Amino acid sequence: MKRGWYSRRVFPRLVNWSMVQPGFIPLRQSLLSQASGAVMEIGFGTGANLTFYPSHIHSLTAIDPNPGMIPLARSHLVEGVVSVDLALASAEWLPFPSASFDTVVSTMTLCSVPQLSKALQELFRVVKPGGRLLFLEHGQSPDRSVCRWQDGLTAVWKYLGDGCHLNRPMAQVIQEQGWNVATLDKFYLPGVPKPFGYFYQGMAVKN
């Protein structure tokens, strides 16, 4: 995919600033405390999850398709308690053999993946039987008035947010690709305008 100047130069800096906002900290902490074994994170961005992985995980592999994220991510790698194998790749074409990982992770990434169903199928492929997907994603609100705003705003927002959609029904799409959604919390994040702040946090299992 050919990326423009905004995507390569500006957007990574916006991600580096916006993804470490304090409101995300308890959410990242509670989600990533469940990670175990060999872990693979998609949409690593600039590494905002890094410090929240427990020290007992065996390994952390991370991918992101935006080359502009990689130098910023590398500058944060010293902050984590685990070493990271970081690669330039898209979630729709994961460069890993089937059944390679115990845990796969996506935080605020499935909103931006161009081919969402394919990415979820790839995550399903690379995780071991019984393995888990940990997710923290914003998406479609159950409130019709908010939903209408999300549909309208997405047309513009996807350019500012480098492909980000506000209106994806995350839990439903995850389930549709064969995952068993075992735990799910849905909530508006306080302090965030509702069209941008309806979150899905949970764990899905490859049964």
Ligand X SMILES: C[S@@+](CC[C@H](N)C(=O)[O-])C[C@H]1O[C@@H](n2cnc3c(N)ncnc32)[C@H](O)[C@@H]1O
Footprint of ligand X (CB under 6 A): 15, 19, 42-43, 45, 48-49, 64-66, 69, 90-92, 107-109, 112-114, 163
Least Å from the CB of residue 151 to ligand X = 20
Radius of gyration of the chain (CA): 16
Closer residue to ligand X in complex, CB, 29/145: 29
Least Å from the CB of residue 43 to ligand X = 3
142: Cβ contacts below 8 Å, ≥ 6 apart: 186, 198
Least Å from the CB of residue 98 to ligand X = 18
CA distances from 6 to 18, 110, 159, 161, 165 (A): 16, 20, 10, 10, 17
Closer residue to ligand X in complex, CB, 63/146: 63
Distance from C-alpha of 118 to C-alpha of 128, rounded to nearest angstrom: 18
Closer residue to ligand X in complex, CB, 93/148: 93
Dig out the tokens for 12 from the structure: 């990574």
Least Å from the CB of residue 144 to ligand X = 26
Q: What is the 3-state secondary structure (H, E, C) of 158-202?
A: HHHCCCCCCCCCHHHHHHHCCCEEEEEEEEECCCCCHHHCEEEEE
Closer residue to ligand X in complex, CB, 22/130: 22
Dig out the tokens for 102 from the structure: 């115990």
Closer residue to ligand X in complex, CB, 62/171: 62
Least Å from the CB of residue 172 to ligand X = 20
Least Å from the CB of residue 82 to ligand X = 16
Closer residue to ligand X in complex, CB, 109/141: 109
Q: How many CA atoms lie within 13 A of 108 on its CB side?
A: 18
Pairing of strands 101-107, 84-88: unpaired
Q: 3-class DSSP state for residue 36?
A: coil
